[in-house]
């Protein structure tokens, strides 16, 4: 993965999430393929050690504060991924 050193202007989207001043949000709801529930749960709960350090480094390089949540629901048949960005 290439690291970006210079900040760039965000790409404008015709379909923006909710915005309040300098705060933006994005929510995604996905169907989980049967049999993949355990793998998704393992990946989402295994952010520790080097993997967690890389995630933190990526957030610092972006230059904004992020809040993100991932939730399996409906008997693990759907996945919600939501994030907020504070610039």
Q: What pLDDT digit, counting tens, does each position of 2-51 carry?
A: 555 565 565 566 666 666 666 677 788 999 999 999 988 888 777 666 77
- In the prediction, which pLDDT does 17 show? 62
Residue pLDDT, tens place only, 68-84? 788 999 999 999 988 87
pTM of the full structure:
0.58
User: What separation in angstroms does the CA of 75 have from each of 29, 35, 45, 54, 79?
Assistant: 14, 12, 17, 31, 10
- For residue 32, what are the contacts with CB-CB under 8 A and spacing of at least 6? 40, 72, 76, 77, 78, 79
């Amino acid at each position: 993965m290439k690291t970006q050193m210079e900040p760039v202007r965000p790409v404008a989207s015709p379909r923006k999430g909710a915005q309040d001043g300098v705060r933006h949000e994005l929510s995604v709801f996905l169907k989980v393929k049967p049999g993949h529930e355990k793998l998704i749960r393992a990946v989402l709960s295994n952010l520790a050690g080097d993997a967690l350090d890389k995630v933190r480094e990526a957030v610092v390089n972006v230059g904004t504060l992020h809040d993100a949540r991932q939730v399996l629901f409906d008997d693990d048949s759907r996945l919600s991924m939501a994030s907020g960005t504070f610039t």
